[in-house]
Amino acid sequence: MFPLLVVLSVLVLWAGLRLEEAEEMLTEFALLAVMVPTMVDMGGNLGAMLSSRLSTRFHLGTTSLDPRDRVLWANVTAILALAATIFTALAVGTFLLGQVIGAAIGLGELLVIALVSGMSVAIIAVGFSFATTYVSYRLGIDPDDTTIPIVTNVVDVFGMVIFLSTAAVVLDV
CA 11/CA 115 separation, integer angstroms? 25
Stretch that binds other proteins, among 57-65, 83-91, 122-130, 133-141 (CB under 8 A): 83-91
Burial environment of residue 82 by CB neighbours within 10 A (0 to 12, 13 to 18, 19 or more): middle
**Contacts of 150 by beta carbon, 8 Å cutoff, 6+ apart:** 8, 132
End-to-end Cα, the chain, rounded Å: 41
Minimum distance between the CB of residue 103 and other proteins, rounded to whole angstroms? Answer: 8
Sign of CA dihedral 56, 59, 61, 65: positive
Q: Does 16 bind other proteins (CB under 8 A)?
A: yes
Stretch that binds other proteins, among 59-67, 89-97, 104-112, 119-127 (CB under 8 A): 89-97
Stretch that binds other proteins, among 59-67, 116-124, 126-134, 156-164 (CB under 8 A): 156-164
Q: Does 2 bind other proteins (CB under 8 A)?
A: yes
Q: Does 149 bind other proteins (CB under 8 A)?
A: yes
Nearest Cα to Cα of residue 167 among 123, 122, 109: 109
Q: Do the beta carbons of residue 151 and residue 51 sit within 8 Å?
A: yes
Binding site residues, other proteins, CB under 8 A? 1-2, 4-6, 8-10, 12-13, 15-17, 19-20, 23, 26-27, 30-31, 33-38, 40-42, 44-46, 48-49, 53, 70-71, 73-75, 77-79, 81-82, 85-86, 89-90, 93-94, 97, 101, 103, 144, 149, 152-153, 156-157, 160
